[in-house]
A and B are shown apart, each in its own frame.
Chain A
Amino acid sequence: MSELSDVKAEEQAADIVPEGPAKVPDKEAEPVKPPKVRRLNIIGRRNLFFALSLIIIVPGIISMATHGFRLGIDFAGGTELTVTFANHPTLPQVEAAVDSENANGSVIQTTGGGYILRYPPLTAAQTTNVQNDLQGKLGPMTVAQILEVGGTIAGETIEFSLLAVAIAATGLLILLSIWFHNVPGGWRAGFQFGGSAVAALLHDVFVLTGIFSILGKVFGLRIGEIDAFFVTAVLTVVGFSVHDTVVVFDRIRENLRVSQRLSFEQVVNLSIMQTAARSIITSFTVVLVLAAILIAGGPSLQGLALALMIGIVSGTYSSIFNAAPLLVVWRKLQPVR
Chain B
Amino acid sequence: MHIVLSGPIRLIIAAVLVFSLFIDGAGYVYRIANHLPLTGDVAGLPPNFGGWQLYFHKGLDLAGGTHIDYQLTNFPAGQSRADVQQRTIAVINKRVNALGVNEPEIRGAGTDYNRITVDLAGVTAAQAQKTIGAVSKLVYTKWVPDAKVTGGPEPGYKPQLTGLTGDDINSASATIDTTGVSWVVNIGFTSRGATLFDNLTRDNVAACPGDVNTSATANCPQRHLTIWLDLTQQDIDNWEDPSYAGKVTAPYDPGCLATQAAGTVCGKFLTDPITIQEIPGGNATISGSFTQQSANDLATGINSGSLPVDLVALDVTQVSATLGAEAVKLSLAAGLLGLSIVVLFMILYYRIPGLLASLALLFYAGVVLALFKFIPVTLTLAGITGFILSVGMAVDANVLIFERFKEEIRAGRTIAAAVDAAVRRAWPAIWNSNGSTLWTCAILGFVGPSAVKGFALTLAIGVLVSLVSAIVVTHNLLAIVLISSRFRRASLLGVDRVRTV
Contact = CB atoms under 8 A, between A and B. Distances in A.
Q: By CB atoms of chain B within 10 A, which of A74, A282, A289, A301 has the most? A: A289
A149 B333 contact: no
A278 interface: yes
Interface stretch (A52-60, A164-172, A184-192, A217-225): A164-172
Contact of A148 (B315, B330, B341): B315
Contact of A4 (B331, B349, B407, B420): B420
B417 A168 contact: no
Contact of A150 (B313, B388, B396): B313
A152 to B, nearest CB: 5
Interface in A154-210: 156-157, 160-161, 163-164, 167-168, 171-172, 175-176, 179
B75 interface: no
Interface string A263-293: 0000000000011011001101110111011
Contacts of A296: 330, 333-334, 337
Given A82-B323, A144-B319, A145-B320, 20 more contacts: A3-B501, A33-B411, A145-B318, A145-B319, A145-B323, A147-B317, A148-B125, A148-B317, A150-B313, A228-B449, A228-B452, A239-B439, A243-B436, A250-B428, A275-B403, A278-B400, A285-B395, A286-B395, A290-B392, A295-B337
Contact of B425 (A1, A254, A285, A286): A254
A175 B452 contact: no
B161 interface: no
A97 to B, nearest CB: 20
Contacts of B342: 285, 288-289
A175 B436 contact: yes
17 contacts: A11-B421, A82-B323, A143-B124, A143-B318, A146-B125, A147-B318, A172-B436, A231-B452, A235-B444, A236-B389, A242-B440, A251-B429, A277-B403, A285-B346, A285-B399, A288-B341, A300-B381
Interface string B113-148: 000000000001110011001000000000000000
Interface string B133-169: 1000000000000000000000000000000000000
Contact of A143 (B133, B320, B345, B425): B320
Given A4-B416, A128-B126, A244-B433, A297 B334 contact: yes
A232 interface: yes
A157 B393 CA distance: 27
Interface residues of B, number: 81
A38 interface: no
A2 interface: yes
Given A10-B417, A247-B429, A293 B338 contact: yes
Given A278-B399, A282-B395, A293 B385 contact: yes
Q: Which of B319, B327, B452 has the most CB of A within 10 A?
A: B452
A88 B64 CA distance: 24
A281 B448 contact: no
B178 interface: no
B382 interface: yes
In the A-B complex, list the 4 residue pairs whose CB atoms are closest, starting with the nearest: A239-B440, A286-B392, A289-B338, A146-B318
Nearest to B444: A235
B322 interface: yes
Contacts of B71: 152
B280 interface: no
Interface in A18-77: 31-33, 35-36, 74
B314 A153 contact: yes
Contact of A3 (B317, B389, B416): B416
A250 B432 contact: yes
B226 to A, nearest CB: 32
A171 B444 CA distance: 12
B441 interface: yes
Contacts of A33: 411
Given A82-B323, A286-B392, A292-B334, A15 B407 contact: no
A99 to B, nearest CB: 24
A240 interface: yes
A211 interface: no
A3 B414 contact: yes
A229 interface: yes
Given A124-B130, A148-B313, A167-B447, A247 B400 contact: yes
Interface residues of A, number: 83
A254 B447 CA distance: 35
B499 to A, nearest CB: 10
B317 A35 contact: no
Contacts of B412: 31
Given A7-B420, A238-B440, A289-B338, A152 B452 contact: no
Contact of A274 (B326, B395, B407): B407
Contacts of A334: none
Interface in B291-346: 313-320, 322-323, 326-327, 330-331, 333-335, 337-339, 341-342, 345-346
Nearest to B412: A31
A295 B381 CA distance: 16
A35 B448 contact: no
B41 to A, nearest CB: 25
A239 B441 CA distance: 8
Given A228-B451, A239-B437, A3 B125 contact: no
A298 B416 CA distance: 45
B319 to A, nearest CB: 5
A275 B459 CA distance: 24
Given A31-B413, A145-B317, A146-B125, A246 B130 contact: no
A250 B429 contact: yes
B327 A298 contact: yes
Nearest to B417: A7
A292 B317 CA distance: 27
A240 B64 CA distance: 32
A3 B408 CA distance: 14
A127 interface: yes
Nearest to A161: B449
A163 B322 contact: no
Contacts of A304: 382, 385
Contact of B316 (A148, A229, A231, A244): A148
Contacts of B400: 247, 278, 282
A242 B443 contact: no
A149 B432 CA distance: 39
